[in-house]
Amino acid sequence: MGCPKAFSVSGGMGSALLSKPELIHDILTTLRRNLNTPVTCKIRLLNTRQDTVELARRIEKCGVPALAVHGRKVKDRPRDPAKWDEIADVVSALSIPVIANGNVFEYEDFKRIKDATGATSVMAARGALWNASIFSAKGKVPWEDFKTEYVRKTILWDNDIKSTKTTLREIIMHYICLEGTEGKGVIKCGSSADVA
């Protein structure tokens, strides 16, 4: 329930569900009843701290073993800082583990967000997408090295070309620009061999 993208929201998915607590309850309880695997979910912050805490408590009552909380509201953009203090409100209100998410770009950010929120664990998205070496205590490798290793692994594992291109576009947009030679080359790729 964290995705604010138009394709999700227009289909009634992602963050569109945040305003439908009864449907959230039905989905979570149905999944829990019919699956033999733990079911967790992820939410975004709501318009007020109290609304977020109330929704989190309702979700906890559905019996989920953990809840991920993205520290931005639906209207917030990725450039807006995550509100770790509002994640902390949820952590304080629940008895289940809370997974904090938002503004995790460096290895040190994992400790910083845990300390600031009291969360049990951390989820990283864009930071890991741009350079997965953020998980290394040794520090991030240069992005060019990460990109090269990523391409090597996608070829080795015969990764779907659309997925590979999407990730490469994200990496290149973050570090340079898609308008350059490399960015335009990725856009034109039709196979793993082209990517290489």
Q: What residues are annotated to the active site?
A: 3
* Residues in the chain, total: 196
- DSSP 8-state code for residue 14: G
Q: Which helix (H) or strand (E) holds 80?
A: none
Expressed in percent and rounded to 5, the helix, strand and coil fractions of the chain are 55, 10, 35
- The CB-based long-range contact list for 19-24 (8 Å cut-off, 24+ gap) reads 21/55, 21/58, 24/55, 24/58, 24/59, 24/62
User: Can you list the alpha helix ranges (DSSP code H) found in 38-135?
Assistant: 49-61, 84-93, 107-117, 126-130
